[in-house]
Chains A and B, each alone.
Chain A
Amino acid sequence: MKQHYETVIIGAGMAGLAAGIRLALAGKEVIILERHNASGGLNSFYSQDGRKFDVGLHAMTNYVPKGTKGTPLTKLLRQLRIPYEALDLCPQNSSRIHFPGCQLRFNNDFALFESEIAAAFPKQIDGFRALAEEVRTLDAFNLGAIPSSARAAVQRHITDPLLEDMLFCPVMYYGSAQEHDMDYGQFAIMFRSLFFEGFARPLDGVRVIIKLLQDKYRSLGGVRKMKCGIRQIQSQDGKASAVVLDNGSVITADTILSTAGAVETARLCTDQPADAGADNIGQLSFTETITVFDKQPADFGWDDTIIFFNTAERFRYARVEPDRLVDPTSGVICFPNNYQYGEGRQLEEGFLRVTAMANHDAWCALDEDTYRAQKTHWYDKLQQVTLGLLPEAKLKLDTHRIASDMFTPRTVRKYTGHLNGAIYGAPGKIKDGRTHLDNLFLAGTDQGFLGIVGAMLSGISMANLHVLQGG
């Protein structure tokens, strides 16, 4: 392997691949080093018994029809020089937010959401419209006099706590690394990406996106090495000088872009203590169950795309207490089949996925047998919660289930290296991507933007800012 590159990128997730494409487009000598044997990071796929499972990708947010000017998706595709059609984005059917005694449906046309709120919360609709208008025009990076707490900012418009929680539930599940509250700028970015823009999915799932990014990067001459974890970042006089791989070999670089996370990256640096950044480790991790049927969800009478649910009196988005493995009172249900794939196109098998919050330490403390037993227990429990929320099944579930799987915070930690299995990373984001070393920068999850589109935009903007514009 060559020993010097202009830029080393740590991680072949969405952010690392997007950053790599930008640098390769500019003719930079760039290498992506990934510890795992597959690209995609938090949003990848794996095979079991000859069946491909997506990790992540319920929905790609930020969906807009081709050519919609000034939107994140359009900008991203242009920056990566990927044609819109290549993503095969198929819009959702419709989704809903399901709380005790109240449901709000939404789809990729904001008018539906607005009318649902007008019907369910007639006294709140003026406030909701004012909130939506504010969110539409807000400069997410410069809030001016508006409170930075999203809860406080939203309460200026929405006075019914039920509606407030119902708005926060999807926004937090799809994009908050912070417990209980979030930054209002981040809220605005997520709100737009979910409700003004919308959900879509390629028929073949996240593989389509990863393959597109990988092929583009390779065609531009970018180098990518798998099973090449980085063990150390060495420095001299405040500058990163080299990375040491798990196998001991050393690569030097002018600039390093790390997508491994803020604290995770700091701890790779030889000039930092082993417990660096202890106060900025993410607390939120999740578990997900996947069930495969030999029928389509529609055959059971289930047409929703995504359901964000909460069954408790108040919605609680926070770390699961250490004496519990899973908090089944809220979560996300997804039917990947329920997208408009077009005439004659559909996933062969039916899929049901359920995500809920889970405690990382509790899962990791279990011995192997208990771990497996608890997986079975919680799979059943989440299934039961889900059935309670869905329209009554027209077919018998047990007869048509042909496979199932479940992953836990332990799985996330193992495959992506995120401390605590924290999918959304550190609560304190580093928006300019800078670190204590001059030429080491962060991109992806801990730079600030979450989700597939967010991670790619982060990779692009950090590559632009710190490498192409020369910092």
Chain B
Amino acid sequence: MTEDQVKQIVIDIINEIAPDEDTTDLKPEVNLRDQMDLDSMDFLDIVMELRKQHGIEVPEEDYPQLASLDSCGAYLTPMFNAK
């Protein structure tokens, strides 16, 4: 799986948990929180869906790795490929 595919998975999850947010023009290098109205409870849901839909466990101390789409790609892609 490529980093771009993983980023798309994250965007799909955001669309699902926050349907009122516009995810069409997200800048991959910018913090998600600076581009959308997401709070820590929403990040908990991203982690929850990664586990439920893809069996990926993100430990709490690694939540900061999910800050932007780029960092999500870098952090999660090896996990997806190791499955």
Contact = CB atoms under 8 A, between A and B. Distances in A.
Interface of A: 25-27, 66-67, 69-70, 74-75, 78-79, 81, 83, 460-461, 464, 468-470
Given A27-B52, A468-B48, A81 B37 contact: no
B44 A78 contact: no
Nearest to A84: B20
A25 B41 CA distance: 13
A69 B48 contact: no
B44 A468 contact: yes
Given A78-B18, A470-B60, A464 B41 contact: yes
Contacts of A69: 37
A469 B45 CA distance: 11
B41 A460 contact: yes
Contacts of A26: 48, 51-52
A78 B48 contact: no
Contact of B45 (A79, A83, A470): A79
A212 B31 CA distance: 34
A297 to B, nearest CB: 35
Interface residues of B, number: 14
Interface in B25-45: 37, 39, 41-42, 44-45
A25 B13 CA distance: 14
A67 B20 contact: yes
Contacts of B37: 69-70
Contact of B17 (A66, A70, A78): A78
Interface of B is mostly: helix
Contacts of B41: 75, 79, 460-461, 464
A70 B36 CA distance: 10
Q: Top 10 nearest A-B pairs by Cβ distance? A: A69-B37, A26-B48, A67-B20, A27-B52, A464-B44, A79-B41, A78-B18, A70-B37, A468-B44, A464-B41
Contact of B48 (A25, A70, A460, A461): A25
Contacts of B45: 25, 79
A138 to B, nearest CB: 18
B17 A81 contact: yes
27 contacts: A25-B45, A25-B48, A26-B48, A26-B51, A26-B52, A27-B51, A27-B52, A67-B20, A69-B37, A70-B37, A74-B20, A75-B39, A75-B41, A78-B17, A78-B18, A78-B20, A78-B42, A79-B41, A79-B45, A460-B41, A461-B41, A464-B41, A464-B44, A468-B44, A468-B48, A469-B44, A470-B60
Q: Which of A66, A78, A469 has the most CB of B within 10 A?
A: A78
Nearest to A77: B20
A438 to B, nearest CB: 18
Contacts of A25: 45, 48
A78 B41 CA distance: 10
B37 to A, nearest CB: 4
A460 B45 CA distance: 12
B23 to A, nearest CB: 14
A80 to B, nearest CB: 11
Contacts of B52: 26-27
B66 to A, nearest CB: 14
